[in-house]
Structures are given as C-alpha cells and as structure tokens.
Amino acid sequence: MKLYKIICTQALKIYICIVLYFFAMKIIGADDIVQLRLLNFVFVFWGVNGAIKKNLHENKDTTYLINLFVGFTTSILTVLLTVISLVFYITFLYADFIHVIESSTFWGSELRLTMIVFAFLIEGIASSIICTFILMQYWKNYKK
C-alpha cells in the first residue's frame, strides 16, 4: 500500500473519531468540560499506531525515519483537518463556542478565532510529535 494512502486513510479515521466524539459531547451537554477534550490524544495515539503498524506489516518497511515520517504526517494532517473544521464550526454553526473556550481554565478572555486556531495548531502539533515519538519507541525494534 502506498504511503500517502496509509497516511490519508489513518488521518481520516482519527479525524472522524474526533468529530464524532465532539458532536457526542455537544449532544449530551459536556462540551464545556475541558478535561474530556484530552481524550483526543487517545484517538491520535490509536490512529498513528495504526499507520505505523500498517506501514510495517503491509509495506515491510522497518526504516525508522520512514515510520517516523508516517506517524508525524498522519497526525499533522489530522490536526489540520480538525482545525479547519473548528474554524468552520465557529464561523458558521456555533459562534458562541469561543465563549465556551474562554470559560475554560486553560484560556484567557477576549479570545479571537486566530488566537484559538494558532493555539490549537501548536497544541495539536506538540501532542502529535509526542505521540509519534512514544510509538516509535515501541516499533523501532520491530523486525520483519
């Protein structure tokens, strides 16, 4: 299987899980509980692991840097898709979500969409890097 197909497929799976999770939180009224948002890491961890594992098993590629690239690219693509969806959600569907974010303990007041996007990008990229390096510690000694 081609690398870009593995990356896109796994990124899309992670993205769908995150979107469904957030809509479920919205439906049950738990979208203001910041700690529940941390479960994104579980979805990213699952998807990046799947991408690396799929590259190892299907492509038989045990090169550390290639698998590191697969993990990074999968998670970064997911972050970009999620941030684009967040911008769409705040701009067109639920502008008051900015106030929900402001009321959390992690953020300040008087937020703008650009500040939120920048912060989510930094947070997402940082967690992606951490997640990928953790998984690569597990998979680095994998032999064919």
pLDDT of 38-88, one tens digit each?
Answer: 788 899 999 999 999 999 999 998 899 999 999 999 999 999 999 999 999
In a domain, 15, yes or no: yes
Task: Label residue 105 by pLDDT band (50, 70, 90).
Answer: low
Q: Is 135 a member of any domain? A: yes
- The pLDDT value given to residue 104: 65
In a domain, residue 69? The reply is yes
Establish if 74 belongs to a structural domain.
yes
Number of domains in the chain: 1
**Is 20 within the bounds of a domain?**
yes
> In b/e form, how buried is each residue of 107-138, taking b as 16+ CB within 10 angstroms?
beeeeeeeebeeebeeebeebbeebbeebbee
pLDDT score at 107: 63
Show the domain range for 9: 3-139
Q: Is residue 144 part of a domain?
A: no
> So what's the pLDDT on residue 40?
85
**Range of 29-33, 110-114, 133-137 with top mean pLDDT:** 133-137
> pLDDT higher for 19 or 98?
19
